Structure 1
C-alpha cells in the first residue's frame, strides 16, 4: 500500500515538473539582456519552450542558442553601442572642463533625440511584424501561454496586446521611467524621483528639487516616447487605447530591486520583488586568475568593471586610475578595453572579460570599483563587497547615492578624478571597517528571505501560465481620471452640498429672525 502511495506521489511530482509552458520573450538588448537571459535559462531548465523575438542588428541577443529558438526581424532594434560610448566620453569632457550648463543642455537634447529615435525604430519594427500576416499567424498558431518582456521599450507589450496573451514584465524601468511610478502611488513628498539623488527624508528645498526633477521627467516622456506609441496604437488598436495603459495592465511585475536597495514606499499586489535573482554563489576561478588572486596575500584584491556599455574611458582618466592602483599594496583586476595605460603598476592585471560574480564572491576581494549599474550593485550586495563608485550616466549616480547613504560605498566624480582623490577614496573603503560592515549587514538582510529571488520569479511566471493571467491582482486605478483617482470630484460635490446646506440654514435662520422681528414690532 505504501509502495503504491509513494509511486503515485512520485508520478504526480514528475508530471508536474515535466509540464512545459510556451513562453514568448521580447527582450531589451545590452545589460538588460544579461539578466533576461538568466530567467530564460532557468525556464528552459524547467522544461518550458522559449521563443525570443530579436532584431537582426541585435548586439547581445544571439540567433542561435540551446536555450531558446529565435524569431529574427530584419530591421534595426535601435540599440546603438557606438553612440553610448561617444556619449559618455563627451559627457565626461563637459564635466571636466566645467562647461556645464549650455554644453550639458545640448548633450541632454541629443540624448532625448537618440532615445526618441530608438522608440521610433521599435515602432517601425512592430509595424513590420504586425503587417506580416504569415508571421502573425505563426505566432497565433504557436499557442503561447505568456509574453515575458522588458518594458524599457514597448515591443513586447504591444505584441501581448495583439496576441491577446497574459503579460509578465521583467522590469526596473518602463518607457516612462522607474516602474513603481507607473503602477503604485508615489507621493513626491517622500518618494524620491530617480535622478534627483534624494532619500525618503527630504527638506522643503529637496521636495522642490524632487518635484522639478519629476516635471522634467514628464517633459522627456512627452518628447521621447508618447508621439511614437500614441500613433502606433491609434493605427493598430484604435484611438480609444492609451498606449501606457497596456503597460499598466500587465499581470505581474517582476521588479529587479527590493527594499534592501529601495527606500520604503507604496507598492501593489502584482509587484514581485526579485532583486539579486541573477546572483549565485561563487564558483572556482580559472587557474591563472586564482594564482594571481592568491599572490595578493593578506592585502587582498580590488576588482574594477564599468559594465557592458562603458568599458573604454578617455586615456587621461585611465592614466590617473592606473597610477592610483599602482600606489596600493593590493592586487587589482581591471576589465579594460583600449590602449594599456603607461602608468600601469605591476600589481594590476588588465582583462577583456572577468567572471565578476565569482570574483565578488572570493574571500580575498576587498573592494569593487563599479559604475553603479543595477546588476553590479546587486551582486556587490549579494556578496557583501563595499563599492568605490565611479558613476557615469542614467540611473548609475542615483544607485550609488543610495549605497553611499547606507554607508556601503564611496562615490568619486570620475570627470574630475585624479590619482590622489581616487587613492584616498580606495583607502577609505579598504581600511575604514564601516564600509564592509554596512555592506555585509545589507547582504545578510538580502539573504534572509524564505525563497531565492529567481525561484520566486519563475513561480510567478508559471503562475500566470497556469491561471491564464492574474487579473485578480491588477489594480484598475490607472483607468480612472486624475480627478476621480484623487477623489477631487467627490470632495467638490460634498463641499458644494455642505455650502448649499449652510446657505439653506442661513436663509431659514434669516426667515425665522424676520418673522420674530415682525411679531415683536406688532406687539409693541
Structure 2
C-alpha cells in the first residue's frame, strides 16, 4: 500500500514539475495612445491571466496608459504630445473642414492638409524610442529581462526599431502602417479593385473612382516616405548604421494581427503571417447597471436607440446637437446618448445623456433598435457582432470607409457632417432604418456570418502570439518580398531584360536581312 502511495505522489510531483506548453512567457509592449491602447489592453488581459508576464512602456504623461499594477509598467521621462486637447482640436478642425469645404477641398485637406500635425505626432513617438535607446540603464534592464517577443502598434514606426535593437520577434496589432493601410505594403494590392482608405470607394469603381484611388494611394505612400525619411530612417541610421533600410525593418514582423475579417472587409490578396481577428473585443452582453436597465425597460415595445461618437468627439457644434436632439425628441423610442458638453436646448424627455456607457452590453440588449455611430472600428464591429443596424456620422480617418462597408451590405445609412442638420436629414435617416426591416435583417445575416467561425478571434490572436513565443518567431511564414527592391518585386528588371533581348533579336534580324539583301543586289549588279 505504501508503494502505491509513493508511486502516486511521485507521479503527481512529476506532473507539477515537468514544463508544459503553456509555460508563461515574457512580453514587452510598445503601445499607442487612445483607442489603440484600449484594444491592445484587451489582448493583454487574457495573456496576463494565462500566466504571461507583461511589461508596458509608457511616456510620463500618458493619457490612456496608466501605471497598472496588473502589469510591469516602465515610465520613460518623455512628454507625449498626443493628449485629449490635441485630439479634440484635430476633431474640431476636421468637422469645420467637412462642413465648410467643397468635396475636393475637403478631400485634399483631410489627406494632405494635416500632414505637418501628424509628423509632429510621429516625431514625439520617435523621441520616445530614442529616449529608451539612449538610456543605458533601461536598455540593460530590458536585455536582462529576456523577453520572448515585442507586441507593438505599427501606426508608429518606433516599436520595430526597439524590437530590432533588442533582437526580439515582433507581433503587430492593428492594420495601420504609419499613414497607410498595411496590406498595401505586405501583400499584392491591385488598385483597380482594392479601395484605398479615405477615397470612399468600394470594390466596384468607375474610371474616375480608380483615378481617385491611385491619387490617394500616391499621397499616402508619399506621406509614409516623408515620415520614414525625416524621422525613422534617421533613428535607424543612428542606432544600427547606414546599412539598414527602415522600410525593410518595418514590414518584417513575424505576425500581423489585423482587426478585420472578410465579413466586414472586401476580399483581397493576403499573406501567411496575417491573422484576421476582427471583432476580437466583442462578447455576449452582460446585465446592464440597474439605472440603465430601468430606462431601457421603460421604452416598452418601441425599444431604444444608442448614440455614441466615440472617445475623441466630446462635443459637436451647437446647431448639429440641437438638430439631433430635436429629431430624437420626435421619436417614440428611448435614446441613450454618450455626450459631453452643454445640454442641447431641444433635448426631449425620452433622451438620457451619459458620460460613459457599457456599449457592448447595450448593443447586445434585446430592446436595441438602432446604433447612431461615428464609424470607429470598435463600434462598427460590435454592431455587426450583435446584428444592430447603424446610422453613421463619420468624422475622419477610416470612419467613412468602415460605415461604407455596412451600407454596401445593406446594414445602415451614412450622413455627412455637412448635411446632417439640413432638411431633417437626420430624422429621415433614423425613421428609414427603423421602419425598413431589411436593415436589421441584413445586419443579423452579417452577424451570423461573423460568428460562424471554428476559432473565436480573441483565441486566434492569443494562439499566434504564443506561437511566436514558442518558436522564437515565425520566419517560415514571411514572404521574401520584403527584402526585394521595388524594381525586382514588380519584375521591372526582367521586363527590361526581355525587352532588350527582343530588341537585340529584332535588330540582329534586321541587319541580317539587310546584309542578305545588299549581297544579293551586289551579286545581281555584278552579273549584269
Instruction: Compute the TM-score of the two structures, normalised by the length of structure 1.
Output: 0.94
Q: How does 1:387-402 map to 2 (within 5 A)?
A: 387-402=390-405
Q: What is the SS of the residue equivalent to 1:451?
A: coil
In the alignment, the residues of structure 1 paired with residue 306 and residue 156 of structure 2 have an alpha-carbon distance, to the nearest angstrom, of: 32
1:395 Cα deviation after fit: 1.1
1:201 aligns with 2:209: no
Q: Matched residues in 2 for 1:170 and 1:108: separation?
A: 24
Distance in structure 1 (CA, Å) of the matches to 2:446 and 2:105: 40
Which residue of 2 is the match for residue 288 of structure 1?
291
| Shift in CA distance, 225/416, structure 1 to aligned 2, threshold 3 Å | farther
Q: Which residue is 2:309 aligned to?
A: 306
CA deviations over 1:43-71 (Å, ceiling 9, x no partner): 011111100111111111111232x1101
**Structure 1 residue 17 displacement after superposition:** 6.1
SS at match of 2:114: helix
- Indicate yes or no: 2:502 matched with 1:498: yes
Q: CA deviation at 1:513?
A: 4.2
Aligned with 2:354 (options 320, 326, 351): 351
Q: CA deviation at 1:479?
A: 2.1
Q: CA deviation at 1:505?
A: 2.9
User: What pairs with 1:157-172 in structure 2 (closer than 5 Å)?
Assistant: 157-172=160-175
198, 216, 219: which is aligned to 2:219?
A: 216
Secondary structure of 1:185's counterpart equals coil
Residue matched to 2:458: 454
Alignment map for 1:12-51 (pairs within 5 Å): 16=20, 18-51=22-55
Query: Corresponding residue for 1:112?
Result: 115
Q: Please give the residue correspondences for 1:80-479 in structure 2 after superposition, counting only pairs within 5 Å.
A: 80-98=83-101, 111-418=114-421, 420-479=424-483
Count of residue correspondences = 520
Contact 1:175 1:225 in 2 (8 A): no
Residues in 2 aligned to 1:268 and 1:13: alpha-carbon distance in whole angstroms: 39
Question: Separation in 1 of the partners of 2:507 and 2:396?
Answer: 59
Contact 1:78 1:121 in 2 (8 A): yes
Determine the C-alpha separation between the residues in 1 that align with 2:435 and 2:143: 60
Aligned counterparts of 1:131 and 1:401: Cα–Cα separation in 2: 45
Q: Secondary structure at the match of 1:415?
A: coil
* CA root-mean-square deviation: 2.5
Distance of 1:367 and 1:106 partners within structure 2: 32
Where does residue 74 of structure 2 map in the other structure?
A: 71
Separation in structure 2 between the aligned mates of residue 389 and residue 501 of structure 1, nearest angstrom: 61
Asked if 2 retains the 8 angstrom alpha-carbon contact of 1:176 and 1:182, the reply is no
Deviation for aligned residue 1:92:
2.4
Q: Shift in Å at residue 106 of structure 1? A: 6.8
State how far apart, in whole Å, the 1-side matches of 2:100 and 2:182 are: 35
Looking at structure 2, the residues matched to 405 and 218 of structure 1 have their Cα atoms a distance apart, in angstroms, of 27
Aligned pair in 2 of structure 1 residues 99, 270: CA closer, same or farther (>3 Å)?
A: closer
| Pairing 1:61–2:48 present | no
Deviation at 1:72, TM superposition (A): 0.6
- Please identify, of 294-303 and 480-489, the stretch whose mean Cα deviation from structure 2 is larger: 480-489
Deviation, structure 1 residue 503: 2.7
Once structures 1 and 2 are overlaid, which stretch shifts more, 69-78 or 106-115?
106-115
Please tell me whether the aligned partners of residues 57 and 76 of structure 2 are also in contact (alpha carbons under 8 angstroms).
yes
Distance 1:503 1:231, change over 3 A: same
Checking the alignment, whether the CA contact within 8 Å between 1:151 and 1:169 is kept in structure 2 is yes
* TM-score normalised to structure 2 length: 0.93
Question: Secondary structure of the residue that 2:20 maps to in structure 1?
Answer: helix
Q: C-alpha displacement at 1:325, in angstroms?
A: 0.5
Unmatched tracts of structure 2, length 5 or more: none
Displacement of 1:240 = 2.2
The alpha-carbon distance between structure 1 residues 44 and 17, as it changes in their structure 2 partners (threshold 3 A), is: farther
SS in 2 for 1:339: coil
Alpha-carbon deviation of 1:20? 0.2
**Contact (CA 8 Å) 2:112, 2:219: kept in 1 or not?**
no
Residue 272 of structure 1 aligns to a residue whose secondary structure is: strand
| Cα 1:222/1:501, change in 2 over 3 Å | closer
